[in-house]
Amino acid sequence: MKKIISLLLVLIIIMSLSSCAENNPNDNTSVDIVPDISRMQSICELAVIDCYYHNIAKSYEPDVEGHLWWKKDRQFWIEYNAIARYGIDVSKLKISIENDIITVSIPQAKLLDCTIDDPKDFEYIVAEDSAKITAEDEQTAISQAQDELREEASNNTMLIAQAQQRAKDLLKEYIESINELGEKSYKVEFTIIPDDNINQLETDSDEPETE
């Protein structure tokens, strides 16, 4: 769904640029259209990837009820849905325009948010011979499930890379639309701002095709 919204945003921007270029059909003079930094930031805000999880969290605690040789374990499972969102921190995005060069310093994509469904929507499965399950036991299991999900989602390097590439691709599409409608042909260069534990900057550039 987010991908569709992102593409629609780019389409709306392109249509608005076309409208500006056609305001004066009798004027054959080309117009120099300058990229709008606020629009580029909006594009990056929508360039996110949502990953849907359907997980089962297990809670097991031995010998919690009974006495001497007769004791019961506490054992139950929680079935839940969750959404992990990947993208970039737009507040750290930096864009500069000098002549026909657009330099975009884009932060490394990461896990932005991880949300588990409302607990009332969970499915609880209790072992047949389990000790009594308390509300505190359920809350502990839910907290543990959240921690485990966040760790799993944070290590999904494939989705992180896809989110990074999506932001770059949508920005390139925006610049290409400007190059097609305006007089000047812009070249976009990216500088990837890494996490604190990465020492080097990764750079790449791409010159959009023009007619």
Model pTM score: 0.70
Residue 211 lies in a domain: no
- Domain tally, the chain: 1
- Model pLDDT for residues 44-102, shown as the tens digit of each residue: 888 899 999 998 888 888 877 777 677 888 889 989 999 999 999 888 888 888 888 98
Q: Are 93 and 86 in contact (CB under 8 A)?
A: no
107 domain-assigned: yes
Q: Provide the residue range defining the domain that includes 12.
A: 2-206
φ, ψ of residue 100 in degrees (nearest 5) = -110, 15
| Cα–Cα–Cα angle for 107, 166, 106, rounded to 5 degrees | 15
The answer to whether the CB of 14 falls within 8 A of the CB of 43 is no
* Calpha distance 109→101 (Å, rounded): 23
Q: Are strands 70-87 and 110-116 parallel, antiparallel or unpaired?
A: antiparallel
Q: How confident is the model at residue 38 (pLDDT cuts 50, 70, 90)?
A: confident
Phi, psi dihedral angles at 188 (to 5 degrees): -110, 135
Question: What percentage of the chain has pLDDT greater than the value 90?
Answer: 23
Q: Answer yes or no: are the C-beta atoms of 18 and 149 closer than 8 Å.
A: no
Q: From the centroid of its chain, how far is CA 193?
A: 16
Of the candidates 93, 104, 95, 102, the one whose C-alpha atom is nearest the C-alpha of residue 182 is: 102
State residue 26 phi and psi, 5-degree precision: -85, -5
Q: Sorting pLDDT into bands at 50, 70 and 90, what band is 140?
A: confident
Q: Write phi, then psi, for 57 (nearest 5 degrees).
A: -100, 135
